[in-house]
Amino acid sequence: MIAWGNGLERNQNGGSGLRAIAALPALAGKFGVAGGGLVGGAGHAFPKTLDKLTRADFVPPQTRTINILDVGRLVLDDNLNRQSRPSSYTTTTR
């Protein structure tokens, strides 16, 4: 049984690391086997209605969203307000 916890995804290569870990029980045939598999986040186990809580419909279109990891660097960027397109790490979710 693998439990990967939280935090690995917050590093460079973190996503790839998680994919590599998740591949281990897959390659070993341990998914769906009692005592085997992967304990990830259980967030999807619950009938959440994130749209009702986050109210993305309140966010004006084209609102700039920035990756939390880049906040420090971008706040120090005097040209931030003039950036015409997102930086490479900027996430635009809508």
Partner 1 sequence: MKQALAREDVFVAGIEVAMTDSMAYADVLLPACTHFEHADLYPAYGQQYLQRAEAIIAPVGESLPNTEIFRRLAAKFGLTDPAFRASDAELMDAALRSDDPRMQGLQPSRIPVDRAIKMQYGGAEPVLFDNVAPRTPSGKIELLSQTLGDRYGAILPGYRPLVSQYPLTLITPASDKRITSTFGASRKVTPRRCSR
Measured from the CB atom, the residue of 31 and 83 that comes closer to partner 1 is: 31
Measured from the CB atom, the residue of 12 and 84 that comes closer to partner 1 is: 12
Structure tokens at 92: 């635009």
Stretch 7-46: interaction string toward partner 1, x if CB under 8 A: -----xx-xxx-xx-xx--xx---xx----x-x-xxx-xx
CB 22 within 8 A of CB 39: no
CB 90 within 8 A of CB 66: yes
Give every CB contact of residue 74 below 8 A, 6+ residues apart in sequence: 66, 80, 87
Residue 62 is a binding residue for partner 1 (CB under 8 A) = no
Radius of gyration of the chain from its Cα atoms, rounded to whole angstroms: 18
Residue 75 is a binding residue for partner 1 (CB under 8 A) = yes
Binding site for partner 1 (CB under 8 A): 3, 6, 12-13, 15-17, 19-20, 22-23, 26-27, 31-32, 37, 39, 41-43, 45-49, 52-53, 55, 58, 71-73, 75-76
